[in-house]
Amino acid sequence: MKTLAFTCGDINGIGPEICIKTINQIYNPADRKILLFCPSNVIEEELLGTTHSFSYQIIKDKFPQKVDSSYVTIINTGNFKQQTGKPTNFSGKAAFASLKRAYEAASLKLVDAIITAPVSKTAFKFAGIKYPGQTEILAKFSKSKNYLMVFLSNKFICGLTTIHEPIKNVSKLITKQKVVSSIKTLNETLVKDLGKSLPKIAVLGLNPHAGENGNIGKEELSSISPAIRSFKNIFVEGPFVPDAFFGNQKHEDYDAVLGMYHDQVLIPFKMLNFNSGVNYTAGLPIIRTSPDHGTGFDIAGRGIANPQSMLEAVKWAEKIITNRRQKK
C-alpha cells in the first residue's frame, strides 16, 4: 500500500482540475491511499464542475491520525479567494500553504510521496514568497544542499546543473564543485531511485561547440572537464557539443544527460515528451514529482486540461517508492 499526497498548485490555474482528473483515474482503495492538500472552498467548487467517481472527506482541522483508503482525504489548507485565469497574491499563498502542509506530512513519513501541481512564480512574487520554484522551496524545507532538478521519461532522463537562473548568471555558477555535485546526485538518483545498477551519464558543454578547446569560452576547460575526470567509479563522459549530441540522438546511449542550464535540455526533452514528461526533485529525503508543464491560466476553468503528465508523475513517484523500499 502506498500513500500519495497531491498539492493543488496555483488555485487560479489548472492544478485543482488535473488533481481531480488524475485521482479519478488512479483511485483504487485496495492499492493506495490518497490525500489532496487544497483550500476547501476551492476544491468544493472544483468538485462540482469536474466529473469524478471517488468518495472523499474534507478534513478542516488537524491532519488525521489515520488515513482511510476507502475515500480520498482532502486536507483543507485555508480559505483563499480564487480568481481563475491569472496569478494573484492569494493564489501564491494558497500554493505555498498546500506545499508546506504536504511536505510536513512527508517529513513525518505519513505519506510516501508528494505529487505537486504547477505553481506560478509571478503569484509567489505577489505573495512575497522569495523562491523561484517548488524545487528550491522543498530543498529549503528539508535543508538539502545537493539537490537537483531532474526530468523523467521513458525516452530521456536529464538533470540541470543550474535551474531557474537568468542566462547572464549561468557562466559564473558553472564551477568544478557544482558540476561534481550534480553528477554525484544524478548518479545516486539513477541507482537508488530509478534502479540502474551501473548508470551511464553524459555531460553537455556550456558554450557553442563545447568551447572548442577554449576558443569559445573557458568553462569546459576550467570546470566541466576537470569535474568529469575526477570520477573513477562512475561512468561519466563529456563535455559533449549539445547540438550535435541531440542531433545524433546520442541521448539514447546514456541513462541520463546532465545539462548546464534550463533550456539546454528542456527544449529537446519537451519535444520528445510534451504531455508525458515528469519533473523530479532529486537529492531530497522525501519523494516529490510534478507534471512537466505550467499553470495553464489560459485554459483554467474550462474543464479541458490534460492530466497525462500528472498521471505520469504518479507512475514515476510509485516507481521511486518501490525502488527506495527495495534498497532498505
Of the pLDDT bands very low, low, confident and very high (cuts 50, 70, 90), residue 328 is low
DSSP state of 70: T
Q: What are the DSSP calls for 92-119, one per residue?
A: HHHHHHHHHHHHHHHHTTSSSEEEEPP-
User: Residue type at 254?
Assistant: Y
When the pLDDT of each residue in the chain is averaged and rounded to a whole number, the result is 94
Say how many residues make up the chain.
328
Backbone φ and ψ for 87, nearest 5 degrees, come out as -75, 140
Give the mean pLDDT of 45-59.
92
Q: From CA 127, how far away is CA 87, in angstroms rounded?
A: 10
Which pLDDT score is estimated for 315?
97
> What totals of helices (H) and strands (E) does the chain contain, helices first?
12, 12
Whether residue 327 has pLDDT greater than 80: no
Q: Which residue intervals of the chain are DSSP H helices?
A: 15-26, 40-49, 89-107, 121-126, 134-142, 167-173, 176-188, 219, 225-229, 242-247, 262-273, 308-327
Per DSSP bridges, beta strands 158-160 and 148-152 are antiparallel
pLDDT tens-digit profile of 95-146?
999 999 999 999 999 999 999 999 999 999 999 999 988 999 999 999 998 9
- In 181-252, which ranges are E strands? 200-204, 235-240
The three grid cell numbers given for residue 180, joined into one nine-digit string: 561534481
pLDDT tens-digit profile of 160-178?
999 989 999 999 999 999 9
Of the pLDDT bands very low, low, confident and very high (cuts 50, 70, 90), residue 63 is confident
What domains sit in the chain, N to C, each tagged with a CATH number? 1-144+284-328 (3.40.718.10), 146-279 (3.40.718.10)
